[in-house]
Chain A
Amino acid sequence: MLEIELHHRIEDFTLDLAFTAPAGLTALFGRSGAGKSTIAQSVAGLLRPERGRIVLGGEVLLDSARGIFVPPQRRRIGYVFQDARLFPHLSVRQNLIYGQKLAPRSLTAPQLDEIADLLGIAPLLNRRPAHLSGGEVARVALGRALLANPRALILDEPLSALDPARKAEILPYLEGLRDRFGLPILYISHAPEELARLATTLVLIEGGQLRAAGPVAEVFATPAAAAVLGPREIGAILAGTVAGAEPDGLMRVETAGGPIFLDQPGLVPGQRIGLHIHASDVTLALTRPEGISALNLLQARISEVIEAPGASAHVRLDLGDQRLLAKVTRRSVAALGLRPGLPVWALVKSVSMAAEDVTARGTPG
């Protein structure tokens, strides 16, 4: 558990807030300039706030009243920077073990082979960072932070430099991380999709002030959320593998919930792509719908129902290890008896391919 209490002034901006991040993924959400990075840097010890108190698992890392300031090298908080900051003069392997060599020995500490496999970077170990793609750089940065055996993790927009396909590739690792290592993770993001998919706790920040903090389902439902999240459409990115062209020219893409058909020529069978699906483009049905024009029908199970402000609700769907979000009315939630664990059919009205940012909206129906 990570307890955070901060007061810091930079020119005419004042950060003044307090919240607690339990084990799991705590998303810090707010517009740029809201103070998210100041919080992250304070927690890591890269910035010494004017006043504050930061306690990680009972250990005081910062207490300005008592003059306590633990320097970053003794905090053991992993930090995955937005710009990755891999050491350019070291190989991927040397980057990965940089912190591992300095971490206290422990039986539960992650090992190089294990992390390299988990993140799919084993073939890259002898390369230099300059020869890696954006997605590879992000995974190496993540691996480097994990191998230092951290007690908490800060992910500062680790996916912002990536195209949606790479995002779709890394999101499962982050989910695995959240569920497996049991560390408090502070996750900074602009992207509602990532937040919807990953967060267990949500902290909404506006102009250096706390707007709301708590379990994601609760915070989502508050009017404060609407103010901070804005009218932006939320959705999810579903990973898929191109199966091949159908006789009528449509491309069949296999996903964890079933096939999706795309009017997107030029895809290569076997290619992994990300499918961006807006929550408002997903309709739910309790039984397999018959006699409809929609082609894209996915089998899913409800994992959570999040009441949003107004008359709407967001439903989180599990499709194997993938996630989908559906936006429905609260009336429908009540009428259909939508609740966690319920198997449903998701009708996807529109899919855009995230990989090349080519919109294939209006899939023939």
Chain B
Amino acid sequence: MSLTEALGLPPEAAQAVLLSLRVALVAVLASLPAGLFTAYALARWEFPGKSLVNGLVHLPLILPPVVTGYLLLLTFGRTGWLGAPLADLGIVLAFRWTGAALAAAIMAFPLMVRAIRLAIEAVDPGLEEAAATLGASTPRIFATITLPLILPGILAGAVLAFAKAMGEFGATITFVSNIPGQTQTLPTAIYSFLQVPGAEATVARLVLVAVAVAMVALVLSEWVARRVAARIKGAR
């Protein structure tokens, strides 16, 4: 907590920052495999219902976030059609931080898929064909040719999704509410402190933290992406 003390944050606000980082990280890591698969399917496969899948993936981008949060509540709430059987298994998402991670992942999913899909579409399928004529199976081609070539795109997608997850507000507050120490994330904490007279200093510090986290993520990803791209292009 020394860092948050140095920033002069009250414990509630510090918890919100840490929770947001955890929520965003879990949301990105957990949705990355699904994002990669979806992006690959949309970029490379023709299948019935492709435009439907494409539409569904992008839905959170165009729906009001409150609506997405409400739909999550209907689906994953204790009495929801998925939430009820999950609750029987002891898995509860509504009003828990895991629910915040789910909401963040769904809201960030279109951005992640889009970035990865663009990267996959930029890979010359001819390279994959060449690998096939050299005897490589489809999984091997993906692991040795496609994946290394789209790494910068995956990274960009992950960072974009992380930033989106850090800032998610509407769906989160609707689905998991705004319980300090439990489901209160950085944006909902800023919102709460704005309602409290005299907490302007805390709000300002939280805003600074939000900006700093976003900048660090961006700079870090730019740096890694550049290194990866340079390695691919052969600058050694």
Q: Which residues of A contact B (CB under 8 A)?
A: 44-46, 71-79, 81, 83, 85, 87-89, 98-99, 102-103, 127-131, 144-145, 148
Contacts and interface: CB of A to CB of B under 8 A. Distances in A.
Contacts of B236: 128
B148 interface: yes
Given A85-B124, A87-B127, A89-B148, A148 B233 contact: no
A75 B137 CA distance: 12
Interface in B118-162: 124, 126-127, 129-138, 140, 144-145, 148-149
A72 B137 CA distance: 9
Interface of B: 124, 126-127, 129-138, 140, 144-145, 148-149, 231-236
Given A81-B126, A85-B124, A72 B234 contact: no
A98 B136 contact: yes
A88 B134 contact: no
Instruction: Report whether over half of chain B's contact residues are helix, strand or loop; otherwise say mixed.
Output: helix
Contacts of A127: 234
B134 A102 contact: yes
Contacts of A81: 126, 130
Instruction: Report whether over half of chain A's contact residues are helix, strand or loop; otherwise say mixed.
Output: loop
B168 to A, nearest CB: 34
The 5 closest A-B pairs by CB, nearest first: A128-B234, A99-B134, A102-B135, A130-B234, A85-B130
A129 B233 CA distance: 8
15 contacts: A46-B129, A46-B132, A46-B133, A72-B133, A75-B133, A79-B129, A87-B130, A88-B149, A88-B233, A99-B133, A99-B134, A99-B136, A102-B134, A128-B236, A148-B135
A73 B149 contact: no
B77 to A, nearest CB: 46
Contact of A85 (B127, B149, B231, B232): B127
Contacts of B149: 88-89
Contacts of B137: 73
Nearest to B137: A73
A88 B232 contact: yes
A148 to B, nearest CB: 5
A288 to B, nearest CB: 51
B102 to A, nearest CB: 35
A97 to B, nearest CB: 10
A88 B235 CA distance: 11
B145 A87 contact: yes
B132 A148 contact: no
